[in-house]
Chains A and B, each alone.
Chain A
Amino acid sequence: MMEHFLEVFRGAEAICIPSSSCVAMIRDHYPKMAANGDASLKRAVKNMLTRVYEFTELLVDKLNVTDVGAFFPHLVALHPSCHSLRSLNLGDRPAKLLENVRGLTLVDLPEAQECCGFGGTFAVKNADVSAAMLSDKVRCVLNSGAEVCAAVDNSCLMHIGGALSRQRAGVRVLHLAEILASREGKEFAS
């Protein structure tokens, strides 16, 4: 699969990935997976790594943009996903982009740095613990007063959003890109 990925994106100048856990997979694990391969594979991985950008890295670092001209008149809480926080060290890139969105109010999310409990297969293999972690995260989202919970990882959003939906909480989840793509009179519809 890695070799296929390398092949598909061989000609790309920049590879934008709207999921920090996917970027972490490529940055942290591809070099290790290639370590057992031949020299050309190692070279291909090394070459690709310089062209891989997480979505907010592409905007803020590569394109030098923090204001995309978006309009989104809502209260938004940002869930800094584990990989964006501790693996990619995205820092305040996502928040900076949100702060420049017209009409948007960024609210504080209590215990923001805690994992939401998704963890891939963890959510089903350790369903009880995952549900307990999710319950804590949802409590924090609701306490924040936000209408929208945003993140740069769809996997966390599927998890948090799944519980908000089940609880009829009246809070929705959106990927950061969906907020940035919204304009006055034309909210991005996913």
Chain B
Amino acid sequence: MSTFVGDAAKAPKFQTAAKKLVADTQVRHNVKRATDLIRKKRAKVVGEMADWEELREAGHHIKEHTLRHLDFYLEQFETNCTAAGGTVHWARDADEANGIIVGLVKAQQAKEVIKVKTMTSDEIKLNVALEAAGITPYETDLADLIVQLGEDKPSHIVVPALHRNRMEIRRIFLDKMNLGELGDQPEDLAAAARGYLREKFLRVPVAISGANFAIAETGSVCVVESEGNGRMCVSLPKVLISLVGIEKVIPTFQDLEIFLQTLPRSATGERMNPYNSIWTGVTLEDGPQEFHVVLLDNGRTKVLADREARETLDCIRCGACLNACPVYRQTGGHAYGSVYGGPIGAILTPQLQSMEHSQTLPYASSLCGACYEVCPVKINIPEILVHLRNKVVEQGDAPWEEKIAMKAAAYVLDSPERLERARNLGRIAQKPFVKNGVISHLPGGLDAWTAVRDLPAMPSESFREWWVKREREGHV
């Protein structure tokens, strides 16, 4: 048994990865340009909704209710999906899910599979498991295809190739698709991808999809997308396998009316997704004739057990928090060392891994609150970040310099007399560093501040001293 999130357990510290990415002018420019565009579109279509706040509230409520009764709704989903001709498998962790899926593909004697909506499969490293079993996976979502052909990693949960521009994509396609010539216009690139993928849609007998929602009441699975490649994946092959995180279940079909309004507007700034596929089990002589759902835990029940942080599982993977996040916008998604980047990744990845890994992620935020403001299911990400920072400290995993600094700060700030003594000491200690009223260089770790900013020198009179003097002079 093994629970993991991609290669996040081996990922470098956020700071280390971010340092490199912040210096990469191309990535920074691409990410800024793309997120600016999506933010503008989102703001426009959210702005036209008079009941947006109510929709957010409703989405939050549905998700919270479902999580409280998750056992009930998951079993209801299983019952109804099975009754409609589907087969439901339960996977405790990544290894178990990979074993089930590889087994199902092998049973078809298939050597190839087509895939769509594969973020959860990236979480469990399904492609690695498939390849190890001699099965070739083809990503069919355009952005996932770019990432796969570029031997790259996804950098955004909705737009995985957001860090690439058209010129870079053209180069990848030219190198990997055996094309003689290729333009760099969107139509050229789309045509190349279409030619490459169509042939696979018609030939490959097994598809693996993710899911946006699993509906307990009907046993249906729902995938929303922009390209229609997902529609091909879930309708053309003989066999369809859907990998579904257990938090994706919603109680009723009616609940979709909330999420199908909030998800597309938050994710891509569209009023509605161009393709909304919802299917229920198997229909004779129409679509896949064998349908499997793999329900995945992989750390989710542990998140559920933490009252303070469990609303993390409300997430509907719209990516709005990434686009809004000033930290993500500087680094892109690769800094987060996980398939889940940005603010939601910073709270999800460490929790799925039981807080054993990715402990620098809760600190990868200035707590500005922009993520919470845009979240369509009202996840209070800043508060959960602080909660997870507490956990890191409680586990004793904070760096030693920080432990000492925090202890010293608590000691000084705990008493007015100590604070006064520290202030007087500071006025003397700062003398060698002050020039023209500012400090431009500090030694040791404090240089992290003065490397790019001056620090105002401590004034000769503090507010407290001014206040006391003022009272003494009778200005009360």
Name A's B-contacting residues (CB within 8 A).
Answer: 1, 4, 28, 82-83, 85-87, 113-115, 117-136, 158-159, 161-163, 165-166, 190
Contact = CB atoms under 8 A, between A and B. Distances in A.
A148 to B, nearest CB: 15
B330 A132 contact: yes
Interface stretch (B116-124, B145-153, B288-296, B359-367): B359-367
* Nearest 9 pairs of A and B residues by beta carbon: A119-B366, A162-B453, A115-B368, A86-B369, A82-B368, A127-B448, A124-B448, A165-B454, A132-B330
Contact of A123 (B373, B438, B448): B448
Contacts of B383: 28
Contacts of A133: 326-327, 330, 366
Contact of A82 (B22, B28, B331, B369): B369
Contacts of B365: 119, 122
A136 B451 CA distance: 17
A25 to B, nearest CB: 11
A113 B324 CA distance: 11
Nearest to A135: B452
A161 B15 contact: no
A126 B364 contact: yes
Interface string B8-31: 000000110011001100001000
Contact of B370 (A86, A122, A126, A134): A86
A158 B369 contact: no
B373 A86 contact: yes
Nearest to A86: B369
Nearest to B454: A165
9 contacts: A1-B414, A87-B369, A115-B370, A123-B448, A125-B15, A128-B18, A131-B451, A131-B452, A134-B453
Interface of B: 14-15, 18-19, 22-23, 28, 326-327, 330-331, 363-370, 372-373, 383, 402, 410, 413-414, 438, 440, 445-446, 448-449, 451-456, 459
B327 A129 contact: yes
A28 B383 CA distance: 10
B385 to A, nearest CB: 11
Nearest to B325: A115
Contacts of A130: 366
A119 B453 contact: no
Contacts of A158: 455-456
A119 B19 contact: no
B368 A166 contact: no
Given A119-B366, A133-B366, A126 B326 contact: no
Contact of B452 (A82, A161, A163): A163
Contacts of A28: 383
Contacts of B363: 121-122, 125-126
Given A82-B370, A114-B370, A125-B448, 7 more contacts: A117-B366, A119-B366, A119-B367, A120-B367, A126-B364, A128-B23, A166-B454
A124 B438 contact: no
A169 B294 CA distance: 59
A113 B438 CA distance: 28
A118 B452 contact: no
Contacts of A161: 454, 456
A86 B454 contact: no
Given A119-B368, A130-B366, A114 B449 contact: no
A27 to B, nearest CB: 13
A162 B366 contact: no
